[in-house]
């Protein structure tokens, strides 16, 4: 590894598994100290220990919910005291597919609470510190659902459209402070959420999960498979590194060409 992130500290939410853990692993491999956050304390502890055992970097972990503003404030204060945060990766998110007319009001609130307000809480607290320090970097994990329309997941799409919009607006506001803000918009990544996606849509469409998965994979122009978490992590490394120092306000699509068809 080239150690492109050596000397930097990154806070990553939703870091105990899936995309979040892949990014934490990639960042640590590139020399970054990592601050991990997730709700599942046991799984988070295992993730932190695995990174600590493999990499010679500082690993902090804070189990808690990003929808809790008080927890977020305390987490950032404690993490910053140990090492100022150079990169924030907002990855924590939830998903629930349903036809629009079948969503309950609470479904919309639940998705927005995590996918939007959770990002707002962490980003506001971290940015205030970054502004005082004179620089920083934010990478939001959004989705292709934040750039296009989709059937049977309007609540999720709405939440991810909000993150893409927030990315663009905050990038403009933060530019004078030398803080960059970008988003990554993947299609289906090979994580637990992929099973939720295919299972949920299979139920809605009255098809088998295997049929839905096969049809979706066959429609991807490149590779005909789900995205690997490390493929998202590679872009997150680039956006977190100094080599992307002139890039801000962008929403990067990672989908094997799916949204071009």
* CA–CA separation, 8 and 106 (whole Å): 39
Catalytic pick among 21, 27, 62, 156? 156
Print the domain residue range for 207: 191-226
Query: Residue 218 class from Cβ within 10 Å (0-12 exposed, 13-18 middle, 19+ buried)?
Result: exposed
Q: Catalytic residue at 156? A: yes
- pTM for this one? 0.96
- In order along its 261 residues, the chain shows pLDDT tens digits of 579 999 999 999 999 999 999 999 999 999 999 999 999 999 999 999 999 999 989 999 999 999 999 999 999 999 999 999 999 999 999 999 999 999 999 999 999 999 999 999 999 999 999 999 999 999 999 999 999 999 999 999 999 999 999 999 999 999 999 999 999 999 999 999 999 999 999 999 999 999 999 999 999 999 999 999 999 999 999 999 999 999 999 999 999 999 987
Interatomic CA distance for residues 10 and 21, integer angstroms: 12
Q: Is residue 257 part of a domain?
A: no
Question: Same structural domain for residues 89 and 213?
Answer: no
Looking at the fold, whether 101 and 212 belong to one and the same domain comes out as no
Question: Quick one: 202 and 173 in the same domain?
Answer: no
Give the CATH number for residue 49. Answer: 3.40.50.720
Do 133 and 211 belong together in one domain?
A: no
Q: Are 120 and 214 in the same domain?
A: no
Residue 196 domain-assigned? Answer: yes
The answer on 157 and 44 residing in a single domain is yes
Asked whether residue 149 falls in the same domain as residue 85, the answer is: yes
For helices 119-133 and 154-174, give the axis angle rounded to 10 degrees: 10
């Amino acid at each position: 590894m080239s150690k492109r992130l050596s000397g930097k500290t990154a806070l990553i939410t939703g870091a105990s598994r899936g995309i979040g853990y892949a990014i934490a692993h990639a960042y640590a491999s590139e020399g970054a100290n990592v601050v991990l956050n997730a709700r599942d304390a046991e799984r988070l502890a295992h993730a932190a220990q695995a990174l600590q055992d493999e990499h010679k970097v500082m690993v902090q972990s804070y189990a808690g919910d990003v929808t809790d503003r008080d927890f977020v404030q305390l987490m950032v204060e404690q993490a910053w005291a140990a090492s100022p945060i150079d990169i924030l990766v907002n990855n924590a998110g939830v998903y629930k597919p349903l036809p629009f007319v079948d969503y309950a009001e609470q479904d919309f609130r639940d998705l927005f609470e995590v996918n939007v307000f959770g990002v707002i809480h962490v980003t506001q607290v971290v940015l205030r510190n970054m502004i005082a320090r004179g620089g920083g970097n934010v990478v939001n994990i959004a989705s292709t659902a934040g750039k296009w329309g989709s059937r049977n997941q309007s609540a999720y799409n709405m939440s991810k459209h909000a993150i893409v919009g927030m990315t663009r607006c905050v990038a403009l506001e933060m530019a004078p402070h030398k803080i960059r803000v970008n988003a990554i918009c993947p299609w289906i990544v090979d994580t637990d959420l992929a099973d939720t996606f295919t299972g949920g849509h299979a139920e809605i469409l009255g098809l088998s999960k295997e049929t839905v998965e096969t049809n979706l994979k066959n429609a991807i122009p490149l590779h005909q498979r789900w995205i690997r978490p490390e493929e998202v992590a590679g872009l997150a490394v680039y956006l977190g590194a100094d080599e992307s120092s002139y890039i801000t306000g962008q929403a990067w699509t990672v989908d094997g060409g799916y949204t071009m068809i």
